[in-house]
Amino acid sequence: MEYENLIYEEKDRKTAYITLNRPEKLNALSMKLSDEIVDAVKHVQESTNLKFLIFKGAGGNFCVGDDITEMPRWGDANGIMRRARYYQAMANAIEELDKITIAAVDGYAVGGGLEITMAVDFVIATERSIWGMPEVDVGITPGWGGTTRMARLIGRRRAKEINILGALHPGKTAVKWNLWNRLVPNDQLDNEVEKLIELLKLKNQQAMRQLKFIINKGVECDLYTAQGFEALSGALTGAVNGMWKVKDADQAKGILGFMKKDGTWDKRRSLAKNFWVD
C-alpha cells in the first residue's frame, strides 16, 4: 500500500505498522495524512490475518497534532464541527479495532498526537518523549479525545490541568499518571515494542479480543451492566474452548430448519405470529 504522508508495512502477516511520515512538519496531521490514516486503519480492520497494529512517527517525533496552517481550510463553524467528528470517528475506529494496538512514542506527542495515544491499547515511550495539550494557547479546544478520553484515563482534575494550563510534560509523568504504560531508554523503543508483540503472540488471541472489548465497553457503563459483559464473555470463552453445547439451546436447529424447510420455522411461526395480537 502506497501513501504520500505515511508508511504502511506488514510483517509476518500478523503485524501492521503505520508510520506518520511528515518529519519536516514533526508529523503534524494534515488533512491528507488524516485521510491516509483512516484508509490504513480501515485496511487493518478488514484483515482477519492481522492481529497487531503499531503507530510510530518518523524523524524522532511521534506527532505534534493537527496542522494548524490548514485550519482555515476547514471552513465555517459547521465545517469545523464536521472535521472534529471526522477525527472522532478516526479515533473511535482505532479504539474499536479487534486487534491489539500500540503507540511507540518518541519526541513530541502533543495535541492530536497525544489523542492517538489515548485511543490505543498500549503506549511505550522514550525517556526524551514530551506530551501535552497546547490547544488553549492557539485559542481552540481539543476535538477528539483531549478532554473526553483523557478525563476517563487520568480523571477530570488532571484533565483540566493539562488542557487549561497547556504545559508540556516529560514522558515519565504520563506513566506516573496512568496515561502511558512504559518508559524506555531512547535507543530501546523498537526493541521494547517487539518484545511486547512477541509476548502477545503467545496469548489466546480470542481471549485478548474479548478482554479488550469488555474493558472498553465496561468502563463506559454502570457496574451491573459491565458485569453482564463479563458474564457473557465468560460464556463465550467456554464456547470457543469446546464447551458450546447447551442442552436446551437450539444448536442451530432453528437456522438449519429454516434453510432445509423441515417444518421447524412454520410450526414456531404459526403459534407465535398472532399470539396476543389484538
pLDDT tens digits, residue range 167-183?
999 999 999 999 999 99
Measured in whole angstroms, the distance separating CA 112 from the mean position of its chain's CA atoms is 14
Q: Which residue has the cell 495539550?
A: 133
| Element at 40 (helix H, strand E) | helix 31-46
Taken in order of first residue, the domains within the chain and their CATH numbers are 6-201 (3.90.226.10), 205-271 (no CATH)
pLDDT at site 107: 98
What are the phi and psi torsion angles at 5 (to 5°)?
-115, 5
Distances in whole angstroms, Cα of residue 90 to Cα of each of 79, 84, 115, 128: 17, 10, 11, 27
Q: Residue 103 in 3-state DSSP? A: strand
Q: Which residue from 72, 70, 62, 195 is spatially nearest to 129, judged by alpha carbons?
A: 62
pLDDT at site 69: 95
CB atoms under 10 Å from CB of 145, counted, come to: 25
pLDDT tens digits, residue range 17-48?
999 999 999 999 999 999 999 999 999 999 99
pLDDT tens digits, residue range 212-249?
999 999 999 999 999 999 999 999 999 999 998 888 88
Q: What is the mean pLDDT of the chain?
A: 96
CB atoms under 10 Å from CB of 119, counted, come to: 21
Q: At 254, is the pLDDT very low, low, confident or very high (cuts 50, 70, 90)?
A: confident
Q: At 128, is the pLDDT very low, low, confident or very high (cuts 50, 70, 90)?
A: very high
Between CA 214 and CA 121 the distance in angstroms is 13
pLDDT tens digits, residue range 65-87?
999 999 999 999 999 999 999 99
Annotated catalytic residues are 115, 135
Strands in 41-99 per DSSP E: 52-57
pLDDT at site 226: 95
pTM of the model: 0.92
Q: Kindly state the cell numbers that stand for 59.
A: 524523524
Q: Kindly state the cell numbers that stand for 215.
A: 474493558
pLDDT at site 246: 87
Asked whether residue 156 carries a pLDDT value surpassing 80, the answer given is: yes
